[in-house]
Structure 1
Amino acid sequence: MTNKCTQKPYCNAGSRAKDVLGIVHTDVCGPMRNLSIGGAKYLLTLIDDKTRYVFVYFLNGKDEIFTKFKEYKTMVERQTENNINILRSDNGTEFVNTAFDKYLKEEGIVRQLTVPYTPQQNGVAERFNHTLIEMARCMMVSSAADESLWAEAVNTAAYLRNRAPAKAVKTITPIEAFHGYKPAVGHLHEFGSLAIALDKRQSNKFKPKGKSIRWWVTRMRPKHIGCLIVVIGN
């Protein structure tokens, strides 16, 4: 009999939050096999339960999680004028420690912990990490990106995920549900796009005015696009 033991299906881990920041799901992924170009080894996700809006942070070590959560809390509470009520995570010591416990109690945040060896109870965060990693992997493979660009790919995946329709918020996007405005998408480009960079210093009228490049978007805003550029030709 013991050889045929299986786990029973898990029921819903809990009811949905009624308000923005009513419940925040969090999880950490890593260490990654390769360091990012910024030296990160870990991925931290923080997801609002009601809107499914996700924030991602790239960490050198798990000891940075507490500081990043405090930064996140300050930012999102000012943006939404709501307070975080519940933080849902696993039992990892990066989340469960004296300093973190003390801070949550002082801020009036209820901690919800999953039962050990049951990642299904933290399903929202687990699924988000899986989704972001899969999206990033596909973008990196299709663009032949170096593995050190994994953080740029994950960041792009989160950006796109926040601007794509989500079943959990029905007919609108997570960013619209979280911030209250429809996202602009006209500035989006394919990850690892080929482009021509104009060389304004070129004085020879008979030589090419530009160079072929491949660029990976890292911060995408309608009027400010940050990118990493790699020259692939002359």
Structure 2
Amino acid sequence: MSYGKSSWTPWPASCEVWQRIHADYCGPFLNSYYALVIVDSYSRWPEVIITDSPNAKFTHRALRKIFSREGIPDVLVTDNGTHFTEKNFNDWLKHIGCRHLYTAPRHPQSNGLAENFVRTLKSAIASMSPQNFDELERCVDNFLLQYRNAEHTSTRESPAKLFKSRILRKHLMSTTSDVHYYRGNDYRPSIGIILQRMGNRMVKILDIEDNSVHNRHLDQVRINEVGRSDYDYNDSATNPDFVDNSEISLDDTDGNDITESVRRSQRLASKPRYHYKYARRHSTCGGCGD
């Protein structure tokens, strides 16, 4: 007697995290290793443990460690493999208050949540091609970090967001580290006297606070007053950097008119020169709007 295919009936939706979990084994990987897969039905949060002996004793030990971190679920759904049907394992589940449900034999669709993740895990491991156990574990760990942070198609949220209420930090997030604010120095402008022009834009300045001599660019100088200073400064015996203490005319160093004519080619000499701040004013007169 045969029956037609029944309509697809999903598992009841879980109301909270870790209420119902689905478990399954997959493998082998590298011809000798298997993976115990556990998926939370509410958040789709996965757990994967690699072993070379997929028996009931290992299953008991692995679930005990996971339950110690996440708590005991209400329901555990598995297939009918011997690693899930062993008497001592089921006695332990009954003792801790976890209801154990089995799917129909030879009907993996009944445990579709775990089966779908198994297919994704196998594809990820195959794409990374591990060569030994250490590489296999590293591949699984890297995959889990990415998977837990990715948005799931059924929940429209990432497993980490639903299960941990946060996003797991990844190495890509190091580019958005905490912003550090640095205070500037407490330097204040010093009062000095221009002693000598060193070039088109360089001057030698005497600091009247400590009688030190410095070379500075005119962009670093703010001229308050032009003329001869009455300050009595020492000679070169006190200031070894001092070169010339003769009177220097500063008439051509007015802060508003500190501009030097730039050597121009004959081809451009006849063209008007414009002030760099005011594009429509000639640099020669500074005021016409022609």
Does the alignment reach a TM-score above 0.5? yes
Checking the alignment, whether the CA contact within 8 Å between 1:169 and 1:177 is kept in structure 2 is no
Decide which of 15, 20, 24 is 1:23's aligned counterpart: 20
Aligned to 1:177: 162
Matched, 1:70 2:59: no
The runs of 5 or more residues in structure 1 that have no matched partner are 36-40, 78-82, 190-234
Matched, 1:96 2:85: yes
2:85, 2:171 → 1: CA distance? 42
SS at match of 2:95: helix
Decide which of 158, 163, 167 is 2:144's aligned counterpart: 158
SS at match of 1:31: strand
Task: Write 1 or 2 for the structure with the bigger share of helix.
Answer: 1
1:2-21 matched pairs, under 5 angstroms: 8=5, 11-21=8-18
SS at match of 1:21: coil
Aligned to 1:219: none
Matched, 1:120 2:115: no
Aligned to 2:31: 34
1:79-94 matched pairs, under 5 angstroms: 83-94=72-83
Could you give the per-residue CA deviations for residues 84-132 of structure 1, whole angstroms, max 9, x where no partner exists? 0000000111011111111111111111110000000000001101101
1:165, 1:109 → 2: CA distance? 29
Q: TM-score, normalised by structure 1?
A: 0.66
Return the letter of the residue paired with 2:17.
V
Checking the alignment, whether the CA contact within 8 Å between 2:124 and 2:143 is kept in structure 1 is yes
Identical positions, percent: 23
Alignment size in residue pairs: 171
Checking the alignment, whether the CA contact within 8 Å between 2:24 and 2:36 is kept in structure 1 is yes
SS at match of 1:106: helix
The runs of 5 or more residues in structure 2 that have no matched partner are 175-290
Matched, 1:52 2:44: yes
1:7, 1:28 → 2: CA distance? 30
2:172, 2:73 → 1: CA distance? 32
1:7, 1:164 → 2: CA distance? 38
| Pairwise CA distance, 1:147 | 5.9
Aligned to 1:130: 119
Return the letter of the residue paired with 2:38.
L
Could you give the per-residue CA deviations for residues 35-72 of structure 1, whole angstroms, max 9, x where no partner exists? 4xxxxx11011111100000110112012111101111
Greater relative CO, 1 or 2 (CA 8 Å, sep 6+): 1
Checking the alignment, whether the CA contact within 8 Å between 1:133 and 1:154 is kept in structure 2 is no
2:4, 2:127 → 1: CA distance? 31
Checking the alignment, whether the CA contact within 8 Å between 2:30 and 2:131 is kept in structure 1 is no
Superposition RMSD on alpha carbons, in Å? 2.4
Checking the alignment, whether the CA contact within 8 Å between 2:28 and 2:34 is kept in structure 1 is yes
| Pairwise CA distance, 1:27 | 0.4
Aligned to 1:228: none
Return the letter of the residue paired with 1:69.
L
SS at match of 2:23: strand
Decide which of 76, 82, 95 is 1:106's aligned counterpart: 95
| Pairwise CA distance, 1:153 | 1.9
**CA distance 1:108–1:118, shift in 2 (3 Å):** same
Return the letter of the residue paired with 1:139.
M
| Pairwise CA distance, 1:13 | 4.1
| Pairwise CA distance, 1:9 | 6.2
Could you give the per-residue CA deviations for residues 170-213 of structure 1, whole angstroms, max 9, x where no partner exists? 2x210111011122234489xxxxxxxxxxxxxxxxxxxxxxxx
